[in-house]
Amino acid sequence: MPRPQPVNSIMASLPPSNFPVTTAVAALRPSRNLSASIIHRWKPLTTCNFYSNPPKTLFSPSHMRKATAVASTSEIAPLETLFSDSLPLKKVLIPIGFGSEEMEAVIMVNVLRQAGADVVLASVEPELEVKLSGGTTLVADISISECSDQIFDLVALPGGMPGSVRLRDCKTLEAITRKQAEEKRLYGAICAAPAVTLLPWGLLKRKKTTCHPAFFDKLPSFRAIKTNLQVSEELTTSRGPGTCFQFSVSLVEQLFGESASMEMDKFLLMDTADEVSRKEEFNEVEWAVDHTPRVLIPVANGSEDIEVVTVVDILRRAKLDVTVASVEKTLSVFGSQGIKIVADKLLKNAAESIYDLIILPGGVSGVERLHKSRILKRLLKEQVSSGRKYGAICSSPSILQKQGLLQNKKATAHPSVVSMLDSNTIVGSQVVVDGRLITCRGLSSAPEFALAIIAKFFGHGRAKSVATGLVFEYRAS
């Protein structure tokens, strides 16, 4: 498959952060190890407030090598802190192959890029376009062969099957990771990858390790630890998709320090106390249908990639029929952190069908583009007037507010957009279900959001079963 083309024209209108900023311009210059990369820095995280002054991250360096600038549609001003020889660039390699776990890959890429790392998403397949375990297709930045002469501060492997086997059988990746371990630089693996990939390479010797419960018996018993996260010198391992936020934040801490991980926790809303709030009339399987539920998730350039991929992955695990539809002119869209996702259909074609549920992902720039879609406006209006279900995550409840679809409804949203909503609407919970409406507060709440949807269609039993496979604690409430 041909290499992705430069995306200057696509990205020119997108802000570099997931949340609103008044200034966002990237200073671009070649790095010392990658040709013509995008370099980015902001003020030290100890003084950074992720709500009032979110990190000014950029899209992936490698797929925008020929780009000259990325700017927001608002005020353009120089980035406050740019690349400096005194601030060494943290370079991260995340490889993917056919059947890799998409939640894990996307959460790692997104969180590490938000933290300021230069993350390379590399394909171990002959093509850059890779279909992952749950059916989502991502387009990698580069081929793994182009990484063989690079030095990385971190190599992190997603799990998934047969993705972990595809990574294991890649000799180039094996050589890179072996060198990483020999030179005492950071490396990590999650889910099946510790047992299926690192163990055959001999990279778990004298290391305490954890992995997905389904592969736990493959680990050396005297060093296998039943914990969500295990750090053993340079090696970090974790159990599965449901522990990937914790895994990723741990990697941020090891790269950038404790203050960075604390700020990232706040940014991801991982410190939210409330779980799921539902109105009293909520009953189990209230949304039951006599067919496989059909779900539509419209996406645009700038949509929050964690929310899209996490919800799609979890719902498909429960056997819902999920369609990802692009409001752009092409199937390929760039998520909020530059991850290229290939949609199933264009929205204009997807609109010919009827869906039991329409879910709007967040991401400020993506929300703006979704709101401008006349086709989506019509679909949402028909969805509500016909008594069918609809939902929104993070900043996208603002779309429903503008279309008058939150009247007399309780909802939640990301703190950055709460002021745009009716004060009588807001509930300070991660997930809120009010009749046919379901809303979610933000990034780290996406698993609860998806599991709540499963419970509404099929009951708590199936939701709990899916959560178990994710290694995620499900609380039926």
Burial letters 125-142, b for 16+ CB under 10 A, else e: beebbbbbbbebbbbbbb
Using DSSP's 3-state secondary structure scheme, residue 345 falls into strand
Fold annotation for 90-268: Rossmann fold (3.40.50)
In the chain, where the domains are located = 1-87, 90-268, 281-470
For 46, 108, 190, the CA distances from 367, given in Å and listed in that order, are: 29, 23, 31
Would you name the residues annotated as active-site residues? 394
- Given the candidates 1.10.10.10, 3.40.50.880, 3.40.50.300, 3.30.750.24, the CATH classification of the domain at 281-470 is 3.40.50.880
Residuewise pLDDT in 10s, the chain (477 residues): 444 444 444 444 444 444 333 222 232 222 323 222 222 222 223 323 333 334 333 333 333 332 222 222 222 222 222 233 444 689 999 999 999 999 999 999 999 999 999 999 999 999 999 999 999 999 999 999 999 999 999 999 999 999 999 999 999 999 999 999 999 999 999 999 999 999 999 999 999 999 999 999 999 888 999 999 999 999 999 999 999 999 999 999 999 999 999 999 988 887 554 444 444 334 567 898 889 999 999 999 999 999 999 999 999 999 999 999 999 999 999 999 999 999 999 999 999 999 999 999 999 999 999 999 999 999 999 999 999 999 999 999 999 999 999 999 999 999 989 888 887 788 888 999 999 999 999 999 999 999 999 999 999 999 999 999 999 999 876
Q: How far is CA 117 from CA 80, 88, 126, 152, 231, in A?
A: 17, 10, 26, 11, 20
Q: Do domains 90-268 and 281-470 have the same CATH topology?
A: yes
**C-alpha span between 416 and 418 (Å, rounded):** 6
Residue pair 210/235 in contact (Cβ under 8 Å)? The answer is no
pTM attached to this predicted model? 0.82
C-alpha 11: how far from its chain's center? 19
For residue 461, give the H/E element and its range. Answer: helix 460-470
